[in-house]
Amino acid sequence: MNTPKNPWRRLKAERARAGSLPYPVQDEFTSLKAEGFDFVMNIVEQRDGSTRQLVNALLMAFTMRSWDRIRLARALPSLCIHNESGLRETAVRILVVLLNLNRRAPGERIPYDDARSCAALLREALALGVQEDTAAFALEYLALTP
């Protein structure tokens, strides 16, 4: 049996072979725990799929970040300055959320976080262009950064 090349269909085919129940896709990933996180992070890191699939994988990885915050934090910088605006938009929003959480919740700390390099990264992403609401969200964070 041929394995589909599309990463989402590939996972669904693997789950179907295992005889699992038809959950929504996100539930399928979260039910796989660390294995599901590895799968979505591989999609993000290898840019394996369309822009929409990469955005969905990034959002799922963010939801499942408790499995490996370091890996997610390392993948974000290159995505924040990606040439595809939809992916850049999502990455910038996730980075700002993580940085805000980093300030407020000790359990959400991003290991090896350097606020200055993240601020420079956000400024670079804003220069490349993001939607107005994302720019306002990022600028609000930057205003609070010393």
pLDDT in tens, 10-57: 656 655 554 443 445 556 666 677 888 888 888 888 887 778 888 888
Q: How confident is the model at residue 4 (pLDDT cuts 50, 70, 90)?
A: very low
Average pLDDT over residues 86-113: 79
pTM of the model: 0.75
Task: In whole angstroms, give the CA distance from residue 103 to residue 96.
Answer: 11
Average pLDDT over residues 72-85: 87
For residue 56, give Cα distances in angstroms to 16, 59, 89, 90: 21, 5, 12, 9
Q: How confident is the model at residue 7 (pLDDT cuts 50, 70, 90)?
A: low
Place of tokens 């996100």: 26
Mean per-residue pLDDT of the chain: 77
Comparing CA positions, the residue from 75, 82, 97 lying closest to residue 141 is 97
pLDDT score at 139: 92
Secondary structure (DSSP) of 27-94 = HHHHHTTHHHHHHHHHHHHHT-S-HHHHHHHHHHHHHTGGG-HHHHHHHHHHHHT-SSHHHHHHHHHH
pLDDT score at 81: 87
Tell me which of 19 and 72 has the higher pLDDT. 72
